[in-house]
């Protein structure tokens, strides 16, 4: 066998471009390591067929950019190694437990959390003031989020791991904001607190305090959409709605004043990003899911949800497979408080 070395934290990366792997050996590499397909991206995705009888790639293979770019996800085992010093650089761990309609996240944190984790309250620290004009969870002003990061001891070069117990939905919001603020490395615990427990890792109780920092957040670097830009996007790009199908169709609306969706939007519920264990689907399955929804590399892409939280989950999943998407922070909680048109039913409208 020929091992191709790459600058990646993955266990092993094997190349099947002019390598000595047999077909059986190549098939056995995933999921223990990464099988790197060094052909151009359009060949890997199956958009172009050259000499072979079929287009596509070997199951589990990744492109060169996917292999070199660290995943925004981290496993419980990898996090445990970082925390006990077996890997270089101890991360800052943030507990972002929160669910719509519940306010006991802090109490749950106090009763048991990953050792050293700091608690972050989504409504007050990861969102601005709710108004009908801005939406239920608007982005906090950069200056306000700067103070949050300073209180947590986060620095520009920090490695930060975020987790929750709500299918990574609130953790994804924290991931989006930290990434948009330019923090060096931000990762989401795949499977959340349940995966930590399942791995047999310990919890500790009580409050953890941080030594402050002087980090600066002058502006958010990740793309966002205004309400006008979200309205226009379906005409020349793809606008995904991350809410449940029944809310997209307009069958029910438990929170906002009007049921339905933005005309031209395509439904891609965030719950479809996860497997039965609550972990993110393998990258190839995520890519197929979004491509089936109409996502493509050459089209502008935006995501919204009810209030801008769950949309971050789709953006995280899209990032895993190399798509860059803009967040519409106001989302349906802003749109539904205007006189803008509303579509209903399964189709974009």
- Per-residue pLDDT at 138 exceeds 70: yes
End-to-end CA distance of the chain: 53
- Which residues does residue 224 pair with via DSSP β-bridges, in sequence order? 327
Phi, psi of 299 (to 5 degrees): -120, 135
Select, from the ranges 14-18, 26-30, 255-259, the one with the highest average predicted confidence (pLDDT).
255-259
Residues 245-300: pLDDT tens digits?
A: 999 999 999 999 999 999 999 999 999 999 999 999 999 999 999 999 999 999 99
**Least confident segment among 77-86, 194-203, 256-265, 308-317:** 77-86
CA dihedral 224, 228, 233, 234 (to 10 degrees): 140
Largest Cα separation within the chain, whole Å, is 64
pLDDT at 8: 37
- Which residues does residue 343 pair with via DSSP β-bridges, in sequence order? 261
Q: What angle do CA 298, 301, 306 make, to 5 degrees?
A: 165
Domains of the chain: 13-68 (no CATH), 73-198 (3.40.250.10), 227-335 (3.40.250.10)
pTM of the model: 0.81
Q: Which two tokens stand for residue 234?
A: 């379906």
**Residues whose CB is less than 8 angstroms from the CB of residue 60 and which lie 6 or more positions away in sequence, other chains included:** 29, 30, 31, 35, 282, 284
pLDDT at 33: 53
pLDDT at 2: 32
Averaged pLDDT score across all residues of the chain: 88
- Quote the CA–CA distance of 87 and 95 in Å, as a whole number: 21
- Quote the CA–CA distance of 74 and 81 in Å, as a whole number: 11
**Least confident segment among 2-6, 19-23, 65-69, 96-100:** 2-6
**Residues whose CB is less than 8 angstroms from the CB of residue 312 and which lie 6 or more positions away in sequence, other chains included:** 169, 172, 173, 175, 176, 327
**Residue tagged active-site, from 305, 311, 318, 326:** 305
- Catalytic-residue membership of 305: yes
Residues 42-92: pLDDT tens digits?
A: 666 566 666 667 777 777 666 554 555 679 999 999 999 999 876 567 899
Residues 147-186: pLDDT tens digits?
A: 999 999 999 999 999 999 999 999 999 999 999 999 989 9
Residues 331-342: pLDDT tens digits?
A: 999 999 999 999
pLDDT at 39: 74
Q: Which two tokens stand for residue 186?
A: 């931000």
Residue 67, classified by CB atoms within 10 Å of its CB into exposed (0-12), middle (13-18) or buried (19+), is buried
């Amino acid at each position: 066998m020929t091992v191709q070395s790459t600058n990646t934290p993955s266990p092993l990366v094997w190349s099947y471009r002019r390598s000595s792997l047999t077909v059986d050996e190549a098939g056995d590499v995933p999921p223990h390591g990464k099988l790197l397909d060094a052909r151009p991206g359009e060949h890997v995705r199956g958009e172009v067929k050259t000499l072979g009888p079929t287009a596509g790639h070997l199951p589990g293979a990744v492109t060169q950019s996917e292999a070199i770019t660290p995943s925004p996800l981290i496993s419980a085992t990898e996090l445990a190694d970082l925390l006990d010093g077996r890997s270089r650089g101890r991360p800052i761990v943030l507990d972002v437990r929160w669910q719509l309609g519940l306010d006991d996240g802090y109490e749950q944190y106090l009763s048991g959390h990953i050792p050293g984790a700091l608690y972050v309250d989504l409504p007050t620290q990861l969102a601005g003031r709710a108004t009908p004009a801005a939406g239920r969870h608007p982005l906090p002003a950069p200056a306000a989020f700067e103070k949050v990061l300073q209180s947590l001891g986060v620095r520009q070069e920090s490695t930060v791991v975020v987790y929750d117990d709500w299918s990574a939905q609130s953790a994804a919001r924290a991931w989006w904001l930290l990434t948009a603020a330019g923090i060096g490395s931000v990762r989401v615990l795949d499977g959340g607190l349940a995966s930590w427990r399942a791995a047999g890792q310990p919890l500790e109780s009580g409050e953890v305090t941080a030594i402050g920092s002087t980090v600066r957040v002058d502006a958010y670097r990740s793309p966002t959409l205004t309400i006008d830009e979200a309205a226009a996007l379906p005409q020349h790009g793809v606008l995904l709605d991350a809410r449940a199908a029944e809310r997209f169709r307009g069958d029910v609306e438990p929170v906002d004043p009007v049921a339905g969706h933005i005309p031209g939007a395509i439904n891609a519920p965030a719950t479809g990003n996860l497997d039965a264990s609550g972990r993110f689907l393998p990258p190839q399955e995520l890519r197929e899911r979004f491509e089936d929804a109409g996502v493509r590399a050459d089209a502008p892409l935006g995501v919204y949800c009810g209030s801008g939280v769950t949309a971050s989950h789709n953006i995280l999943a899209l990032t895993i497979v190399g798509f860059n998407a803009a967040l519409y922070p106001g989302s349906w909680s802003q749109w539904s408080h205007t006189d803008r048109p509303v579509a209903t039913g399964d189709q974009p409208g």
